[in-house]
């Protein structure tokens, strides 16, 4: 298992402002000098991750105090230059927030060139509530997503003459990337899934499939991926094709680790602060999906505790650990927890680790990353890629 | 399965009409001169009491717009401008040569688009709380942004009377699946046609001069969705129309004052 450092780069001083943290939070609550200091601090921590032999994952959000990275590729353009070893993962570039897919391809190519071919890319839908900022048309989104996706891949991998594109949704007289990406036909592609059904598409496409903070559901996501991969390609995928995102709080002693986890916990409580009308803009989700969500109720979307109950948003550290969203303790304890979860889910080769979250400060983050890199990463690197028959025994 | 909205429309016939390969849900009721009713975001079911009143004086034809209710939608039909042409085709198919055309809110926009294309196709035009003209000028909004409101707040602001069934999450989640499907289709269609530019066609004002049939624009005196500035913009863009403001009515004037509105339309149309 490889470990990727990830932080949402929160403007945590705003967490004290009552009310929503997204869409409607007025920008006067942001002190730009403090924001700049925080962004530089998070970049320092990414550079430390590189020195420690960890990989790097960056995301983006919009109009949110919970995440100040408003462009994956802007953040990664800096890290492409300032790191030397780490793989650099954009997970992901939200196509619902991009009006110009050729521009997306240009930014991918430029960062891949600057980094010497270390970029990995997830093209994702994007958070539904961010349509209020991009104002892209909510309806028919998936058709536009796949056309943009196809155009971006064609542009990245083109080794022939420049081409024109007259699609249903996008129109270009000439597509020409200067620079073009070092990696050919393009950087490794990722996708995100929260169900077996959505994972199958990535299995078919041989993309790396990540699932975020999904706990026990990760097992079915990975199973769906493995099934479609086997059906399409006639062989088992290596576990490098599967990834899980969770928080990690590690320290020399358990009590300190829990104290760190407590500071990171505000990631969960602030991420959920959003007025309900923005969660699901009319027309973005398919009608059948909306009907199912309404019938199931909001608790159905929550990860589960081992007793089957939904994980409360303001749950305890122990509850977040129980649900498989948080790994907390000494390096030995974190390793044991990760190894157990790895076994329960049938195995995955990438831990997308929130090694900084919420209000965890710089010194604590440095310690957290250092311990994980030194004492956990070498051991999880040895976790076995289970043979099929053992895996199915493990997943039950 | 008999669902609530079907019971509300038990005074007429629900059928399907094939419009050049698109199956359109059509409600017909009453007798007398033909009247084409173009519904708002609340669907034909949201206008049931009003349609009942209209059917006392008219043969009412009330289709669900493509994408709403149980009506199909051609893949590239995605602007209200397109709906204008679609309704001319539908009127040709049904031999509705010169009906009274009535549209409420979003349906008023559809009616205006239709009549700018063939101004002679109606005997009378009635726009009830219409949208369709630009709803804002840079930072100044003239029409509440329904997409930024919670279901509860939107439901409460649309009319003075009780809110629609979709505005309460507790009752919404317990609806039969067919009704949920229908509400979600209506929501999706609202987003398709109205997301951006918000509930408007920037070109509509320049075309409204083509409407030459007798036209009435009716507003609810207590409309909490559109502002006075917006009503004045309609008056300027359509100076040939009469304007009436009806007391004790909100944006869904047809829901708050169905009988009064129907009587005024019948009087206008000489029925």
The CATH number of the domain where B128 resides is what?
3.40.50.1820
End-to-end Cα, chain A, rounded Å: 22
CA distance A336 to A245: 17
Query: CA–CA separation, A252 vs A323, rounded Å?
Result: 23
Collapsing DSSP to helix, strand or coil, A293 comes out as helix
Express each pLDDT in B19-63 by its tens digit. 999 999 999 999 999 999 999 999 999 999 999 999 999 999 999
Whole-number percent of chain B with pLDDT over 70 = 99
Give the pLDDT confidence score for residue B244 in this predicted structure: 97
Sequence-ordered strand ranges (E) for chain B:
13-19, 22-29, 33-38, 58-63, 100-104, 124-128, 136-137, 140-141, 215-220, 242-246
Cβ–Cβ of A139/B188 closer than 8 Å? yes
Q: How many domains does the structure of chain B reveal? A: 1
Residue A387: what pLDDT?
A: 61
Which residues, other chains included, contact B269 with Cβ-Cβ below 8 Å and sequence gap of 6+?
A: B33, B35, B57, B58, B100, B123, B124
In this predicted structure, what is the pLDDT of residue A298?
79
Q: Determine whether the interchain pair A277/B150 forms a contact, defined as Cβ–Cβ distance below 8 Å.
A: yes
3-state secondary structure of B246: strand
Q: Does A284 reach chain B within 8 Å, measured CB to CB?
A: yes
Residue A219 burial (CB < 10 Å; 0-12/13-18/19+)? Answer: buried
Domain, as residue range, for B238 = 3-268
Smallest Cα distance from A26 to chain B, Å: 15
Distance CA A349, CA A236 (A): 14
Phi, psi at residue A24, to the nearest 5°?
-105, -5
Q: A6-15, A38-47, B202-211, B262-271: which has the minimum mean pLDDT?
A: B262-271
In chain B, whose CA is at the least distance from the CA of A292? B177
Give B2's pLDDT tier (boundaries 50, 70, 90). very low
Contact status, residue A15 vs residue A44, Cβ threshold 8 Å: no
**Cβ within 8 Å of A, B 192-211:** 192, 195-196
Positions of chain A with pLDDT lower than 50, given as ranges: 393-396
Kindly list the residues from chain A whose CB atom is less than 8 angstroms away from the CB atom of residue B172: 294
Strands A88-94 and B58-63: unpaired
Phi, psi dihedral angles at A160 (to 5 degrees) = -105, -150
Evaluate whether A23 touches A63 at the Cβ level (below 8 Å). yes
Residue A32 near chain B (CB below 8 Å): no
Task: Report the chain B residue with the minimal C-alpha distance to residue A24.
Answer: B148
pLDDT of amino acid A276: 87
Closest to B58 in 3D by CA, of B92, B119, B12? B12
pLDDT in tens, B149-182: 999 999 999 999 999 888 888 888 889 999 999 9
pTM value surpassing 0.90? yes
CB contact under 8 A, B180 and A135: no
**Cis preceding linkage at A60, omega within 30:** no
- Does A281 touch chain B if contact means CB atoms closer than 8 Å? yes
CB pairs under 8 A between A and B: 59
Q: What is the pLDDT of residue A64?
A: 97
pLDDT category at B1 given cuts 50, 70, 90 is very low
Q: What average pLDDT does the segment B212-231 reach?
A: 98
Taking a C-beta distance cutoff of 8 angstroms, is the pair A352, A4 a contact?
A: yes
Q: For residue A291, give the nearest of B147, B181, B196 by CB distance.
A: B181
Q: How confident is the model at residue B143 (pLDDT cuts 50, 70, 90)?
A: very high
With an 8 Å Cβ cutoff, is A170 touching chain B?
no
For tokens 């492409």, what's the residue? A80
Residue A283 to residue B190, Cβ atoms within 8 A: yes
- Interface check B232 vs A, CB under 8 A: no
Which phi and psi angles does A112 have, rounded to 5°? -65, -40
Judged by CB atoms closer than 8 Å, whether chains meet at B196 and A297 is answered as no
| Selection from A5, A72, A7 nearest residue A361 by Cα | A7
Rounded Cα distance between A351 and A376, Å, is 11
d(CA A391, CA A383): 13
A287 touches chain B (CB under 8 A): yes
| Chain A residues whose beta carbon lies within 8 Å of the beta carbon of residue B185 | 287
Torsion of Cα atoms, A341 then A346 then A350 then A356, to 10°: -20
Interface contact flag, A139 B181, Cβ < 8 Å: no
Token representation of residue A75 = 């953040």
- Partner residue facing A294 (CB), from B149, B180, B191: B180
Question: Does residue B5 register a pLDDT over 90?
Answer: no
A291 touches chain B (CB under 8 A): yes
Which residues of A, range 117-156, sit inside 8 Å of B by Cβ? 132, 135, 137-140
On whether any CB of chain B is under 8 Å from the CB of A275, the answer is yes
pLDDT reading at B88 higher than 60 = yes
**Residues B83-111: what's their mean pLDDT?**
98
> B261 preceded by cis ω (within 30°)?
no
**Nearest CB partner across the interface for B147, out of A276, A282, A290:** A282
Contact A172, A165 (CB under 8 A): yes
Question: Rounded to whole angstroms, how far apart are CA atoms A207 and A188?
Answer: 7
The token pair at A224 is 């769906």
Q: Could you give the ipTM of this predicted complex?
A: 0.93
Between CA B41 and CA A283 the distance in angstroms is: 13
């Amino acid at each position: 298992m490889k470990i990727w450092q990830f932080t949402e780069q929160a403007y945590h001083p705003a967490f004290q402002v009552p009310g929503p943290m997204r869409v409607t939070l007025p920008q006067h609550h942001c002190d730009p000098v403090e924001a700049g200091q925080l962004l530089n601090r998070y970049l320092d921590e990414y550079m430390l991750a590189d020195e420690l032999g960890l990989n790097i994952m960056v995301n983006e959000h919009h109009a949110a105090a919970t995440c100040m990275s408003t462009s994956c590729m802007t953040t990664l353009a800096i890290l492409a230059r300032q790191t030397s070893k780490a793989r650099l993962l954009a997970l992901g570039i939200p196509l619902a927030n991009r009006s110009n897919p050729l521009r997306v391809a240009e930014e991918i190519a430029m960062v891949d060139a600057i980094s010497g071919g270390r970029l990995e890319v997830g093209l994702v839908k994007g958070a539904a509530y961010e349509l209020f900022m991009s104002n892209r048309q909510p309806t028919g989104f998936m058709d536009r997503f796949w056309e943009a996706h196809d155009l971006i891949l064609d542009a990245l991998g083109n080794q022939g003459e420049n081409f024109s594109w007259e699609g249903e949704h996008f129109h270009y007289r000439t597509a020409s990337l200067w620079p073009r990406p070092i990696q050919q036909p393009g950087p490794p592609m990722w996708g995100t899934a929260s169900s077996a059904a959505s994972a199958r598409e990535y299995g078919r496409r041989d993309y790396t499939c990540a699932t975020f903070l999904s706990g026990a559901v990760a097992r079915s996501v990975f199973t769906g991926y493995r099934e479609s991969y086997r059906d399409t390609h006639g062989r088992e995928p290596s576990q490098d094709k599967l990834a899980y995102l969770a928080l990690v709080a590690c320290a020399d002693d358990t009590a300190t680790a829990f104290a760190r986890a407590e500071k990171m916990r505000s990631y969960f409580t602030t991420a959920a602060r959003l007025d309900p009308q923005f969660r699901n803009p009319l027309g973005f989700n398919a009608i059948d999906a909306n009907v199912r969500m309404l019938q199931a109720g909001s608790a159905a979307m929550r990860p589960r505790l081992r007793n089957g109950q939904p994980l409360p948003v303001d749950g305890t550290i122990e509850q977040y650990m129980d649900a498989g969203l948080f790994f907390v303790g000494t390096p030995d304890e974190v390793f044991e927890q990760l190894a157990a979860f790895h076994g329960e889910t049938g195995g995955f080769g990438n831990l997308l680790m929130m090694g900084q979250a919420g209000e965890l400060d710089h010194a604590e983050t440095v310690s957290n990353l250092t311990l994980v890199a030194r004492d956990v990463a070498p051991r999880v690197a040895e976790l076995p890629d289970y043979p099929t028959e053992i895996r199915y025994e493990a997943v039950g | 399965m008999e669902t609530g909205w079907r019971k509300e429309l038990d005074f007429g016939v629900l059928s399907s009409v094939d419009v050049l390969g698109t199956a359109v849900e059509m409600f017909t009721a009453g007798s007398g001169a033909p009247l084409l009713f173009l519904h708002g975001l609340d669907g034909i079911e949201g206008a049931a009491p009003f349609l009942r009143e209209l059917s006392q004086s008219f043969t009412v034809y009330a289709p669900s717009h493509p994408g709403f209710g149980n009506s199909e939608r051609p893949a590239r039909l995605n602007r209200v401008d397109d709906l204008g042409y679609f309704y001319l085709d539908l009127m040709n198919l049904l031999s509705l040569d010169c009906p009274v055309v009535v549209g409420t809110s979003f349906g008023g926009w559809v009616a205006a688009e239709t009549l700018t294309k063939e101004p002679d196709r109606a005997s009378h035009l009635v726009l009830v709380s219409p949208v369709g003209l630009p709803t804002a000028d840079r930072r100044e909004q003239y029409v509440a942004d329904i997409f930024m409101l919670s279901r509860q707040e939107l439901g409460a602001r649309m009319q003075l009377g009780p809110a629609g069934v979709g505005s309460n999450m507790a009752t919404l989640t317990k609806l039969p699946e067919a009704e949920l499907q229908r509400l979600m289709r209506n929501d999706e269609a609202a987003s398709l046609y109205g997301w951006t530019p918000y509930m408007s066609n920037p070109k509509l004002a320049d075309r409204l001069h083509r409407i030459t049939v007798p036209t009435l624009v009716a507003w609810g005196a207590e409309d909490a969705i559109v502002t006075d500035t917006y009503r004045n913009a309609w008056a300027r863009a359509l100076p040939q129309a009469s304007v009436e403001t009806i007391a004790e009515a909100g944006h869904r004037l047809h829901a708050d004052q169905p009988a009064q509105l129907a009587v005024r339309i019948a009087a206008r149309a000489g029925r």
